[in-house]
Structure 1
Amino acid sequence: MGSPESGSGGADPDRAGNFQTPNNSRLDKTRFHVIGAVLFTVQQGALHPTAVVKTRMQVAEGGLAHMSGFAVFRRILRSDGIPGVFRGFGTSAVGALPGRVLALTSLEVSKEMTFKYSERFEMSEASRIALANGVAGLVSSICSGSYFVPLDVICQRLMVQGLPGMATYRGPFDVINKVVRAEGIRGLYRGFGITMLTQSPASALWWSAYGGAQHAIWRSLGYGNDSQTKPSQSELVVVQATAGTIAGACSSIITTPIDTIKTRLQVMDNYGSGRPSVMKTTRLLLDEDGWRGFYRERLSVKSE
């Protein structure tokens, strides 16, 4: 494997000695995307039931909205069986592949370019790494958002079938047909504005925190650009996982309430007169649960 700061938090390819991963120009892109797609699909399959539970909790009204995540999971299993917790998985898994390529390519290219051009400024290496990762996360989020927002609308509508007041669909193309027929193409882009305005900065924060945390952890362990000692595989895994956890904690404060608003905006139709809007959705959540309504899936870890 490459450097301690491999992947998303790497240092300059020409200066980091034994620890460098290949930069984007040396990367075997076919192998990179194929392996990445396989691993991402496996991970997505393992986590999809939690996404179904979270989405239903964010959208539900009444008693279901105040149940714990485990209670909602058991309720879905009782009513729909195993297929119920995997609603929308096929569409999500297959549909995400092109978007994944777009996101990763824009991430790597923009990160490499930012790190290169930041050399002209008097900045520490840690600051340059954090900056490069932050810019890369922002660019990647903007580039991939135009693809993933419609995919989210389709998948989330499939996930919430069966809830009171929700439409039923024969599949993803039926979702597209019904949404476009009712609202035009803009119906597939519900939540696009709020996603770009909030998720993009949140993505920049995540990648910046990830790169900075990884750099700091490796330095604290005694690994530098001139170090001749190669870290073990277990060290690589632990450091990257720790950096990811730190980054996730930093960004979740922003992303959780925004995700709740966006999900409601994308799947709910019973808003009365006028088109759904961010303000209307926000007021509805505040009226139902106050600020706790924005953090439903975070608070749902409590026991029943």
Structure 2
Amino acid sequence: MNTPPSPRVASFERTEINWDKLDTKRFYVVGAGLFTGVTVALYPVSVVKTRLQVASRDLGEKSAFSVIKGILKNDGVPGLYRGFGTVITGAVPARIIFLTALETTKISAFKLVAPFNLNEPTQAAIANGIAGMTASLFSQAVFVPIDVVSQKLMVQGYSGHTKYTGGIDVATKIINSYGLRGFYRGFGLSVMTYAPSSAAWWASYGSSQRVIWSFLGYGADSEATAAPSQSKVVLVQATGGIIAGATASSITTPLDTIKTRLQVMGHQENRPSAKQVVKDLIAQDGWKGFYRGYGPRLFSMSAWGTTMILTYEYLKRLCAIED
């Protein structure tokens, strides 16, 4: 009796490491250290992007270079790390929640789309997109309060914004003014921004990799039998990260600009609503106002995404359970 042939598997897929093949305890411990390093390296980009998004119309700092110059002149290098302590405190649990939800959901999502017999890039886009959106939704509960506090610290004393003595001072003022709900200022917009952004990022990353691998001759229909070299794997992953960052930032920058403006508002009564923020942006700069800070955000998402994914894939190789 002849056994049916097994479905062809793209040779590059042998390099992928799924959640069930990881030492999760080591994954979390080593991952906390690696992602802390990534955050230290790229945090200043977030500060510059946030300042550009909240700058008043008459402020002279209209470009990323002028913002950096102003920060260094007034506060030195520490100015590029305002709010960093708050971010790094919440980044570890948020990242753990995100990655756990991402990997576990991705397995289920691939099983869900398998019966539809879609081509590889489409299947990867849908499964990765579902996983990315789900992971973002889970992590927002931790991330949004951290985002609110850190962004207030990033822009304190800038363009008329309140000055604080630190993250605890920000948290105290928020609680005194609004209670715990104050930490979720802009939560709806955060979900509307980051969930689609995460879905777009992971969908683009998953599908672009398949397209690139097929172009290089490693697709499921190719004759290649050997897995690609490690250097080629890293190059394709980096390229996929850049494509994903460009796609996600282009789609979600307008919502991110509105969300950031809402989150850094002071403690005055009658603060403007999202609708009023939209009207103000249009009145000040027209529709291009929604893309304030687009350059730094594009760079940020591409740099963060590419660095993160390379770190993440390296982390998975470090924590893989040997057969």
Q: In the TM superposition, what whole-angstrom CA distance separates every residue of 1:27-55 from its partner, at most 9, and x where no partner exists?
A: 11122223322222222111111211111
Match runs of 1:166-245 below 5 Å: 166-225=161-220, 227-245=224-242
TM-score when normalising by structure 1: 0.87
Distance in 2 (CA, whole Å) between partners of 1:283 and 1:20 is 49
Query: Does the 8 A contact of 2:48 with 2:296 survive in 1?
Result: no
Distance in 2 (CA, whole Å) between partners of 1:53 and 1:126 is 35
What's the offset of the Cα at 1:73? 0.6
Q: In the TM superposition, what whole-angstrom CA distance separates every residue of 1:3-60 from its partner, at most 9, and x where no partner exists?
A: xxxxxxxxxxx95667143321221112222332222222211111121111112112
Choose from 96, 111, 118 the match for 1:116.
111
Residue 64 of structure 2 corresponds to residue 50 of structure 1: no
Residue 21 of structure 2 corresponds to residue 35 of structure 1: no
Q: How many corresponding residue pairs? A: 288
Residue 85 of structure 2 corresponds to residue 96 of structure 1: no
Residue 153 of structure 2 corresponds to residue 150 of structure 1: no
TM-score when normalising by structure 2: 0.82
Distance in 2 (CA, whole Å) between partners of 1:34 and 1:119 is 33
What's the offset of the Cα at 1:164? 4.2
Residue 69 of structure 1 aligns with which residue? Answer: 64
Query: Does the 8 A contact of 1:269 with 1:276 survive in 2?
Result: no
Q: Percent identity?
A: 48
Query: Does the 8 A contact of 2:121 with 2:207 survive in 1?
Result: yes
Secondary structure at 1:123 match in 2: coil
Are residues 170 and 259 of structure 1, via their aligned partners in 2, closer, same or farther at CA, if it must alter by over 3 Å? same
What amino acid does structure 1 have at the position aligned with 2:197?
Answer: A
Secondary structure at 2:270 match in 1: coil
Choose from 251, 257, 261 the match for 2:254.
257
Are residues 299 and 235 of structure 1, via their aligned partners in 2, closer, same or farther at CA, if it must alter by over 3 Å? closer
Q: In the TM superposition, what whole-angstrom CA distance separates every residue of 1:234-258 from its partner, at most 9, and x where no partner exists?
A: 2112111111111222221222111
Query: Does the 8 A contact of 1:57 with 1:64 survive in 2?
Result: no
Query: Does the 8 A contact of 2:122 with 2:207 survive in 1?
Result: yes
What amino acid does structure 2 have at the position aligned with 1:290?
Answer: G
What amino acid does structure 2 have at the position aligned with 1:149?
Answer: V
What amino acid does structure 2 have at the position aligned with 1:287?
Answer: A
Are residues 102 and 219 of structure 1, via their aligned partners in 2, closer, same or farther at CA, if it must alter by over 3 Å? same
Distance in 2 (CA, whole Å) between partners of 1:242 and 1:22 is 19
Query: Does the 8 A contact of 1:205 with 1:251 survive in 2?
Result: yes
Q: Give the CA RMSD over aligned residues.
A: 2.3
Residue 101 of structure 2 aligns with which residue? Answer: 106
Q: List alignment gaps of at least 5 residues for structure 2.
A: 1-7, 298-323
